[in-house]
Amino acid sequence: MVAASAQWWIAAVLRILVNQLTQEDNLNVYRQIDMLLGGFSIKIMDDSNIPCKQHHLVDVFSCPVKKKNVLCQAIELSLKELMQINFPASERNILYADCRVTLCRTETDSFRLLCLNESGNDTLWNLNFDSNFSQFEYGLSHEAIEQGDLIQLAFNRFLLQHTFINHHGLIIHAAGGSIHGKGMVFPAVSGTGKSTLSHLLLPHPENQLFSEERIIMRRTDDGWHLWGTPWKGTGVIARNESAPLNALVFLSQAPETKISKLPPSAALRRLLETVSIPWYSQEWTDKGLSVCESLLRDIPVFELAFRPDQTAVQAVADLAASLD
């Protein structure tokens, strides 16, 4: 059963860009896009051969990324025309199911995901992917292309959160960036001050926010790092940049501004309210929780209870100055 905190699964993993690829309906389309996300190289190949004037592909970051922040391994995603399939009985090891979506593990330890349309009568798209969450093949129907939501659900639940967890990383509902030269992430549930603090920090040249909506955190060979993401909040902040991670600072609004160290139990509770973990699977939940525990062991955690004025900006600056 999906836990309540799963509501923070990414609202849209890759923002959809409508591209005018052809003026003739019967012209087959082939496109390849390379993008970078959270230090991963992502290759998107499209030979779906679906005649469509408005073809939905993936929005690519416009900001350059330093090569040293890119991992050798790549995620490969291919888009193909839908081939209707029925899962054999031997492959119906169902890991997750609702009225529209079914996820199964195959005998070869790969996975298949089937999504029905809203009426539940026809397949909207299906997805095959490997056990490392690095190779993905979409089968797309014409209806999926027209709706433009082919990427959203599968990427939310069955691609990026697993991929990053498998590489000791997490996607978190948070603002974050380089604050006075220190990598800081400000997790918060909706309505508790994430956008407010971001708008207070932005005017100061010492602060560079990479995102005010979603942040990727991952432990690499030289420690924990944070990355911006393409998913924009109200402030439309989406910088494809990275910084070493120095602190987690959970937010709450209060009459007076105060920063305090959070004990481990409170820190874990607050983290689980904001992080993306595949709760429907005990195996992957355990992997996600292991990453959370490692993060909280390695990175200092604070709470910023703040009044929405310059006292909050000063408190964050003072905290940055105190961090190693």
Domains contained in the chain, number: 2
Asked if residue 288 and residue 262 are part of one domain, the reply reads: yes
Asked if residue 184 and residue 144 are part of one domain, the reply reads: no
Residue 215 has phi, psi (to 5 degrees) of -130, 145
Range name among 84-93, 104-113, 164-173, 212-221 with the lowest pLDDT average: 84-93
Tell me whether strands 258-261 and 207-211 are parallel, antiparallel or unpaired: unpaired
Token readout for 227 is 């990355």
Asked if residue 24 and residue 46 are part of one domain, the reply reads: yes
Asked if residue 134 and residue 218 are part of one domain, the reply reads: no
Q: Tens digit of pLDDT for each residue in 172-194? A: 999 999 999 999 999 998 888 89
Last residue of a domain, one of 166, 191, 210: 166
Question: What integer pLDDT is reported at residue 121 of this predicted model?
Answer: 79
Asked if residue 247 and residue 114 are part of one domain, the reply reads: no
Last residue of a domain, one of 133, 166, 199: 166
- Report the CATH number that the domain containing residue 279 is assigned in CATH: 3.40.50
Asked if residue 311 and residue 176 are part of one domain, the reply reads: yes
pTM score, whole prediction:
0.77
What distance in Å separates the CA atoms of residue 86 and residue 93, rounded to the nearest whole number?
13
Identity at 77, one-letter amino acid code: L
Asked if residue 154 and residue 245 are part of one domain, the reply reads: no
For residue 160, being part of any structural domain is answered with yes
For residue 299, being part of any structural domain is answered with yes
Specify the higher pLDDT residue, 146 or 152: 146
Asked if residue 198 and residue 158 are part of one domain, the reply reads: no
Residue 238 neighbours by CB distance under 10 Å: 22
Specify the higher pLDDT residue, 112 or 44: 112
Asked if residue 72 and residue 179 are part of one domain, the reply reads: no
Among residues of the chain, what percentage have pLDDT more than 70? 73
The parent domain of residue 116 ranges over 7-166
Q: pLDDT grade, residue 106 (50/70/90)?
A: confident
Asked if residue 115 and residue 92 are part of one domain, the reply reads: yes
Taking a C-beta distance cutoff of 8 angstroms, is the pair 127, 138 a contact? yes
For residue 1, being part of any structural domain is answered with no
Last residue of a domain, one of 166, 200, 221: 166
Residue 310 neighbours by CB distance under 10 Å: 11
Asked if residue 290 and residue 231 are part of one domain, the reply reads: yes
| Strand stretches in the chain, DSSP E | 16-20, 31-37, 40-46, 54-58, 74-81, 93-97, 101-105, 111-116, 123-129, 135-140, 169-179, 182-187, 207-211, 214-220, 223-227, 242-253, 258-261, 301-306
Q: Tens digit of pLDDT for each residue in 238-255? A: 888 899 999 999 999 999
Asked if residue 157 and residue 48 are part of one domain, the reply reads: yes
Chain mean position to CA 37 = 9
For residue 305, being part of any structural domain is answered with yes
Angle at 125 between CA 75 and CA 81, to 5 degrees: 80
Token readout for 96 is 């997750």
